[in-house]
Amino acid sequence: MKHQVAIVDANAQHREAVADALLSFYTVHPYDSSVNAITGMLLSPPNLILVGQRVGTSSGATFIKELRRERSLSALPFIFIIDNEDFRTVDLIRDLGITDYLVKPYHRSALINAISKQLNGRIERSWQDLPASQRKALEGSLTAFNSVADEIASGNPLPLRTITESCSAIVDVVNKEEFGFLFHKIKDHDNFTYVHSLRYSTFISLFGKAIGLPKEQQVLIATGGMMHDIGKMTIPRALLNKEGRLTPSETKLMHSHVTTSQKLLSTNESIPKGVATIVTHHHERLDGSGYPRGLRAPELNQLARMAAIIDVFCALTDRRPYKRALAAHVAFETMATEMQCQLDQELLHRLKEILLDSADTAGAPPPA
């Protein structure tokens, strides 16, 4: 399910522009006045509120003060959108205790990044309540994931050591059978590529445990899992979250993330072969229907087959703005019937044996 974002602004053109800009990412509720906004939000509270400089016949600042008097809405995060960054407005923002604001005209990416920062900040602060091992796995993997994005943007080699260290913490949690707690704490995180990568890394580590791999090898394949979709960091977020069928050109661009990932791996000569196998082959299928090379069963080793199974399982069970997540047992049934010729059924059965009980509860709150 998408996060709910309210836009409260007297400017109809701006409300419409915001709704259009956020269409692929959030469900947007537009309001033109404080009365309509508070009435609507009391009935259906949003996850975040965007406030324009004019709200109805009053100011956005006045609306924020009114909002803070409503107990059930006062703690909601909001972003103030202002017309001009003059000294009076800056003083007003400071007096209201506002830390996040945008100045018109702003880029669509700036709006989306500001919203994600607010939503994710609340989620990430909740990690402080976790036991040390789980907190280390989440904070370390997020730091590592963000460092990959930073190095890609800077044209630097991938930070293999940082990623491997974070995946070692993930493996520790997996071997303690505590990964369900991780999934509960990231289920509402707004960075879907990070969430997907963490889930993939966790599941393939668990798969390694199921077939008897030592910790060192579990860390290696978990590292491959964390890096398997790094090429998607170069694809527009609107395309990654698009609802409905992709056009042929969009499909081609989406599929290109594998070859892009391979190029990014080449920036670091220390990348292990197992990591490269996962990154390169996780979309290949036994019957040759996969991509990018259309390899068939004889050309795909056990690790490549494992990578493909985890890829499909995550695709079916991940939450996305444009689709519902399937329950684990439904995903396994689909993989065993509709995809029988595409996936290694013996390996699939071995994963199912260890994963099914845990996977269906992965999105549920941990027991008290």
Q: Do the two domains 4-121 and 130-359 of this chain adopt the same fold?
A: no
Q: Span 77-100, mean pLDDT? A: 85
pTM score of the predicted model: 0.85
Do residues 152 and 264 touch, judged by C-beta distance below 8 A? yes
The CA–CA distances, whole Å, from 54 to 12, 59, 83, 270, 329 equal 11, 4, 10, 55, 50
Each residue's pLDDT tens digit, 213-269: 999 999 999 999 999 999 998 888 888 888 778 999 999 999 999 999 999 999 888
Q: What's residue 318's pLDDT?
A: 87
Q: What are 258's two structure tokens?
A: 């594998």
- Give yes or no for residue 57 having a pLDDT over 50: yes
Pick from 200, 256, 215: nearest CA to 232: 256
Q: What are 225's two structure tokens?
A: 């899992």
Question: In CATH, which of 3.30.365.10, 3.90.1150.10, 3.40.50.2300, 3.20.20.100 is domain 4-121?
Answer: 3.40.50.2300
Look up the CATH superfamily of 130-359: Hypothetical protein af1432 (1.10.3210.10)
Q: What are 281's two structure tokens?
A: 């082959």
The CA–CA distances, whole Å, from 280 to 211, 229, 257, 259, 303 equal 22, 10, 10, 8, 11
Tell me 159's DSSP state: -
In the chain, the amino acid numbered 121 is G
Q: What's residue 109's pLDDT?
A: 81
Question: Which sequence spans correspond to the domains of the chain?
Answer: 4-121, 130-359
Distance CA 260, CA 229 (A): 9
Each residue's pLDDT tens digit, 255-303: 999 999 999 999 888 999 999 999 999 999 999 999 999 999 999 999 9
Q: What percent of the chain has pLDDT over 90?
A: 62
Distance CA 334, CA 72 (A): 42
Q: What's residue 140's pLDDT?
A: 95
- Give yes or no for residue 171 having a pLDDT over 50: yes
Q: At what angle do helices 215-227 and 132-154 cross, to 10 degrees?
A: 50
Do residues 313 and 331 touch, judged by C-beta distance below 8 A? yes
